[in-house]
Structure 1
Amino acid sequence: MINNDVLRSIRYALDLGDAKVVEIIKLAGRDVAQSDLMSFLKKEDEEGFIECNDEVMLSFLDGLIIHRRGKMESRPDQDKKPERLTNNTILKKLRVAFELKEEDMHKVLELAGFSVSKPELSALFRMKGHKNYRACGDQLLRNFLKGLTVRHRS
């Protein structure tokens, strides 16, 4: 899924203003100009659209975790960044930010009219290379974001 779509969806779900999104990104140690944020929030076919890169998206997701849960004390593996941002990583970070347990994840997906079995869901959170690992598809992530929107805007 395109990072810009994820950013727009989360921003809408939580009803965040531009200044708040910039502040959340800053919590993760990255500065983003409000003008750049405006370009990230535009649709692909709009003039001035800029693709949101993985580093900015990771900073937003990490900042969202800090914003919603507070800053954690440093752990040795905490500074390790994934080589490439995947839908699985986005889903994991959203799970942490919203403090969702497995049942909560199922409820969020059901709010969007999308259901997955317990083994399918747990496979999304496995390490890549594990025999039961499953890549998170765009449809599942899109429905999860839709369910979050229903949950937080209702």
Structure 2
Amino acid sequence: MTNNDVFRRLRYALNLNTQAVVEAFRLADMKMGQADITSLVKKDDEEGFRECGDDVLQAFLDGLIALKRGKREGAEGKAAAPAEQLTNNDILKKIRIALSLKEDEMLAIFKLAKFPVSKSELSAVFRAKGQENYKPCGDQMLRNFLKGLTMKYREGAQN
């Protein structure tokens, strides 16, 4: 999945209007206007399309955490160190934090998308890279999680 796909699907699933997205970026100390948001949402063959880099998606996810949960104490002026490369595992982890999802809630979201995941598979995705039972989160897993989120937060919506 491209970062633009993740951005587009997450924004839709959580029903975030442009102003909320601008606010999320502001909370992550990244200045983005409505025109910038519009260009990120466009399909890659549309005029005005802008590719969503790892830094932009990470800022959005960090801002989403701050928007949903509030800024962390003592985090004023300290931006999170950008990841070398944002992985699907990182994206899933940040969504989990932003929405305060517990393991059972995440499993239920996967089930909504008709993509059953076991507890051990899910915990393997959240392990630190390099640990014995670490498992990379594939595009299919992330796509189905976003699909389940859409179904949960936008009643009856199908992707």
TM-score, normalized by the shorter chain, greater than 0.5: yes
Corresponding position of 2:33: 33
For structure 1, the residue ranges without an aligned partner over 5 or more in a row are none
Indicate conservation of the 8 Å contact 2:113/2:145, yes or no: yes
Whether the aligned pair in 1 keeps the contact of 2:25 and 2:60 (CA below 8 Å) is yes
1:50–1:79 Cα change, 3 Å: closer
Two-structure CA RMSD over aligned residues (Å): 1.5
Offset from partner CA, 1:9-45 (integer Å, 9 cap, x none): 1111121111221111111111012212111100112
Normalising by structure 1, what TM-score? Answer: 0.94
| 1:17 paired residue number | 17
**Amino acid in the other structure paired with 1:148:** L
Shift of residue 131, structure 1, vs aligned partner: 1.2
Q: Which residue of 2 aligns with 1:129?
A: 130
In structure 2, relative to structure 1, the CA distance for the partners of 1:78 and 1:32 (3 Å cut) is closer
Structure 1 stretches of at least 4 aligned residues deviating more than 4 Å after TM superposition? none
Q: Give the aligned length.
A: 153
Instruction: Report matched runs for 1:36-51 at 5 Å.
Output: 36-51=36-51
Does the CA-based 8 Å contact 2:28-2:79 persist in structure 1? no
Residues 63-109 of structure 1 deviation map (CA, whole Å, 9 limit, x = unaligned): 1111111111137x983332210100000000001111111110000
3-state SS of paired residue (1:68)? helix
With over 3 angstroms needed to count, the CA separation of the structure-2 counterparts of 1:37 and 1:78, relative to structure 1, is closer
